[in-house]
């Protein structure tokens, strides 16, 4: 296989992680109030194997859903592996009928072929997107930027899985700044187990699960209101210039741990990216991030004459940061 094809195949393999029902349940239990009367779209999901589809069929009446639509992708490139079981991309529209237990959309005759390959960007899939209120899925990580851009363009509500590296993508971070996207509850310990028969299992012995691949750094992204956004961080530390030195190259103080954010400091503070997991927009405002993450990200806090975009404390480079400020 030529180099380019190999890279593509590798990418596609990384996109083939199948989410477990228990992880979907653990996250979605926090969003129940949002689903009443809504149409849900899972647009990276083969209804014959997706646990997102199972979850919404099993909870269709409990959540008071109006409609569930799923569409799945069939790669047209024979060199790209896909675990989808048939040659066709398919769609399904479900409106609460009895399709057995466990749900069997094949038997119920609900699965129909799509005209194209089921790419979420295709015209027929966009028509489904327009009809949907909330999009819920684990999309291909390699297309995360395009995937989110499309959700924003069509002003959809969403609950989706992505890698936390995406937080500082130049297409994603501005959405976080504008409070158009935030983190959901996430996976226990920051790692999720996904079903993936194509991929080697990198899990260390202590965290191995038969037939599963462990992916660290995955999380949920959403724009739906959840309780955790209203919970205030309880802070007890007092500011002192010794404990919280000012950066050499940013107009902010350095805070190494979210729990150590001083409760009595009103100006800009650089905090670890993991702070976002605890962000309450009524308590703190997100101002930006270090320029090492993207040009212009620091909203004027950077001293460009330093020519060093990584944050520096007393001559020592430290890890990338997000800048926050207490709400006045
Ligand atoms: C990370 S997997 C998750 C599958 C399923 N949503 C789940 O969570 O179990 C991403 C899925 O997106 C599919 N996919 C890849 N490229 C796609 C595209 N352009 N449009 C729609 N789906 C795509 C892959 O085939 C894969 O099944």
Domain spans in the chain, listed from the N-terminal domain onward: 3-228, 231-328
If you measure from the C-alpha of residue 75 to the centroid of ligand 1, how many angstroms do you get, rounded to a whole number? 10
pLDDT at position 81: 42
Residue 49 CB–ligand 1 contact under 6 Å: no
Tell whether ligand 1 has an atom less than 6 A from the beta carbon of residue 39. Answer: no
The CATH number that domain 3-228 falls under is 3.40.50
- Reported for 4-7, long-range contacts at CB under 8 A and 24+ positions apart, including other chains, are 5/79
What would the pLDDT profile of 271-324 be if each residue is shown by its tens digit? Answer: 999 999 999 999 999 999 999 999 999 999 999 999 999 999 999 999 999 999
| Residue of minimum CA distance from atom 13 in ligand 1 | 44
Minimal-distance CA residue to ligand 1 atom 27: 16
110-120 residues labelled b (16+ CB within 10 A) or e (exposed): bbeebeeebbb
What pLDDT is attached to residue 215? 81
pLDDT band at 197 (very low <50, low <70, confident <90, very high): low
* DSSP state, residue 182: E
For residue 196, what pLDDT band results from cuts at 50, 70 and 90? low
Ligand 1: residue whose CA is nearest its atom 4: 18
Yes or no: say if 58 and 234 are a contact pair by the CB < 8 Å rule. Answer: no
Mode of pairing for the β-strands spanning 182-183 and 157-163: unpaired
174-to-177, 225, 279, 326 alpha-carbon distances in Å: 5, 19, 16, 19
Q: In the chain, pLDDT over 90 holds for what percent of residues? A: 75
Who wins on pLDDT, 250 or 198? 250
Distance 270 CA to ligand 1 centre (A): 35
Distance 12 CA to ligand 1 centre (A): 9
**Atom number of ligand 1 nearest to Cα 141:** 1
Separation of CA 19 and ligand 1 centre (Å): 11
């Amino acid at each position: 296989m030529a180099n380019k094809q190999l890279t593509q195949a590798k990418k596609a393999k990384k996109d083939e992680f199948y989410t477990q029902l228990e992880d979907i349940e653990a996250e979605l239990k926090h969003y129940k109030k949002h689903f009443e009367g809504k149409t849900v779209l899972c647009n990276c999901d083969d209804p014959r194997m997706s646990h997102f589809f199972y979850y919404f069929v099993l909870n269709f009446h409990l959540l008071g859903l109006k409609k569930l639509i799923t569409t799945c992708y069939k790669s047209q490139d024979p060199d790209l592996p896909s675990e989808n079981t048939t040659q066709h991309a398919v769609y399904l529209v479900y409106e609460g009928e009895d399709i057995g237990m466990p749900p069997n959309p094949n038997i119920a005759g609900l699965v129909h072929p799509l005209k194209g390959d089921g790419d979420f960007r295709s015209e027929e899939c966009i028509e489904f997107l327009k009809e949907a209120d909330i999009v819920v899925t684990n999309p291909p990580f390699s297309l995360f930027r395009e995937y989110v851009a499309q959700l924003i363009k069509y002003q959809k509500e969403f609950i989706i899985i992505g890698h936390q590296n995406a937080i500082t993508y130049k297409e994603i971070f501005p959405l976080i700044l504008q409070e158009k996207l935030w983190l959901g509850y996430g996976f226990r310990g920051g790692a999720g187990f996904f079903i993936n028969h194509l991929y080697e299992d990198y899990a260390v012995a202590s965290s191995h699960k038969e037939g599963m691949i462990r992916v660290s750094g995955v999380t949920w992204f959403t724009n739906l209101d959840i309780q955790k956004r209203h919970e205030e961080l309880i802070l007890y530390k007092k500011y002192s210039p010794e404990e919280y030195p000012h950066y050499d190259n940013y107009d902010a103080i350095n805070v190494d741990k979210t729990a150590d954010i001083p409760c009595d400091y009103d100006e800009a503070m650089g905090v670890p990216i993991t702070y976002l997991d605890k962000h309450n927009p009524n308590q703190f405002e997100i101002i930006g991030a270090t320029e090492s993450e993207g040009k212009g990200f620091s909203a004027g806090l950077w001293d460009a004459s330093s020519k060093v975009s990584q944050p520096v404390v007393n001559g020592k480079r430290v890890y990338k940061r997000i800048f926050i400020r207490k709400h006045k």
